[in-house]
Amino acid sequence: MRNFNSLSAALVVALSSVAAQAQNSVPKDPVAASSQIVHLSASASAQVTQDWLVMTLAVQKEGTDAAAVQKQIKTQLASALALAQGSAQAGLLDVSTGQLSVSPRYGRDGKTNGWTGVAELVLQGRDVERITAVAGRVQGLTVSQVQWEVSPELKRQTESRIQGQAVAQFQARASALASSFGFGTYGLREVRVTNQETSGEPPQVRMASMQMDSAPSAMPVPAQAGQSRVVVNIAGSIQLK
């Protein structure tokens, strides 16, 4: 009987000790701790000159026979592709084909009265003089669109250069907020870094009518780069201490 009473007393003491440890492990004021979390953001940006030109050339043909129309646009595209590939160089002038389609043409009565075929050749890269010169020499296709962009290389370089500025601004804001709320320091809880590019000017797009009967011009196609703004955003939350 004495052994049983001793065992019961020891068990009660052990359970009391476990309960006390569990109570000590629970935050004394979880509401107050969560209220010390502050969300903030910061950013840094830089304006850069667009260095990547994308020029799209197109040919359009019409006729009553779909196969004949397709053959015409494929022949024109193949000739232009061969000429452009002679000047191609990776990164400076990349040559690729765009859309190639033949679709029905409808009259006012809603019935099919023929076929329209369109084929595209895309010239893009950093060598503006080479691209515009090739575009001027291509026969049978006309410029349908000109678009300026920031090359992936320049965008990465700019992001790397201004990322430190965004981090410094985030840290400065975090320290200022901690001080303003009467805390000595802060701890970083989470952070998200995002990048974006915005054009300082409307995209330079020129639409040219695809009149294949006009005499081709060997003059370079005029093109002028615009400006873009590369932005690094940092958003996150801090724990005031």
pLDDT at residue number 203: 44
Per-residue pLDDT of 135-148, as tens digits, reads 999 999 999 999 99
Low-confidence ranges of the chain (pLDDT < 70): 1-35, 200-218
Bridge partners of residue 57, in order along the sequence: 121, 143
Dist. CA 132–CA 125, nearest whole Å = 11
pLDDT at residue number 218: 65
pLDDT at residue number 205: 42
φ and ψ at residue 96, rounded to 5 degrees = -150, 165
Per-residue pLDDT of 17-58, as tens digits, reads 434 444 454 445 554 555 689 999 999 999 999 999 999 999
- CA separation, residue 182 to residues 27, 38, 42, 231 (Å): 21, 13, 22, 32
φ and ψ at residue 212, rounded to 5 degrees = -80, -10
Dist. CA 120–CA 142, nearest whole Å = 10
Distance of CA 190 to the CA centre of its chain: 24
pLDDT at residue number 198: 84
Dist. CA 191–CA 177, nearest whole Å = 16
Coil vs helix vs strand at 186: strand
Nearest to 190 by CA among 230, 236, 154: 236
Dist. CA 179–CA 240, nearest whole Å = 9
pLDDT at residue number 86: 95
Sign, CA torsion 166/168/174/179: negative
pLDDT at residue number 29: 53
